[in-house]
Amino acid sequence: MTVLSLANLNRSEPALMRLSEEARVEPILIPKVGLQLPRQMAFEKWLTIGRQLSEVCTSSSWCLGDWLVYGEDTYGSRYRDAIEYTSLDYQTLRNYAWVARRFSLSRRRYTLSFGHHSEVAALSDPEQEFWLRKAEELGWSCKRLRSEVRASLREREDSDPCEMDTTSSEKWPQQNDELKVELSPDQIRSCEQAAGKAGLSIEAWAIQALDRAARHCMQAID
């Protein structure tokens, strides 16, 4: 069990859990399966704790992604044995690794969540920067960012499919290399549920799933 106190913590220190300085407060207990708060707490303090917990979640997603990328690059297929030590499912971890590969440390925005980056991970680097900058400046939520990106892509495809960016290694479909897949309603629902669990739009999830399947087949052939 972790015990956090609001006392004697310096807000200037870049800690994951920076809590406001107070002379005398009850400790905040964080057992492995929950959060135990004092009986009485000012709204501002409660809100601060929520924000900081959100930062921890975002940081842990990036860290898990970097951990997996290192395992893939260093140990090959052996990393799959290692992920059994985590409590997360394979698909979720794969999403963390995929997003981590798409954004170097220098390109990750501290003011935005992992989910924001995930929403634009399938785009080219310049497009990623454009949308993340807008989300940062306008204070967009992940849902708002997803909506804006989808609307922009639909508008672009309707106006001129040939204008799609080709600089990314994970290109969006163009007129001469379009891939169309027909799915039943049940299959679409399953894909949407899987994308939701992975924290991705269905388009980004489909690209990742196809890429993963292709890599698996190539490894089997080799």
Report pLDDT digits (tens) over 70-127.
988 888 777 677 677 777 777 788 888 899 999 999 999 989 999 999 999 989 899 9
For tokens 């080799």, the residue is 222
Predicted confidence (pLDDT) at residue 56 exceeds the cutoff of 80: yes
Residue 5 belongs to some domain of the structure = no
| Range of the structural domain that residue 186 is part of | 61-221
pLDDT in the model for residue 189: 75
- Per DSSP, 14 falls in state -
In a domain, 132, yes or no: yes
pTM: 0.56
Q: What is the pLDDT of residue 214?
A: 77
In a domain, 43, yes or no: no
In one-letter notation, the amino acid at residue 128 is: Q
Residue 168 covered by a domain: yes
Q: Is residue 54 part of a domain?
A: no
Overall number of domains in the chain: 1
At 22-49, the pLDDT tens digits run 434 556 665 567 777 888 888 888 888 8
DSSP string, 186-222: HHHHHHHHHHHHHT--HHHHHHHHHHHHHHHHHHHH-
The 10s digit of each residue's pLDDT in 158-187 is: 765 554 443 443 443 333 445 677 777 777
Residue 30: inside a domain: no
Residue 2 lies in a domain: no
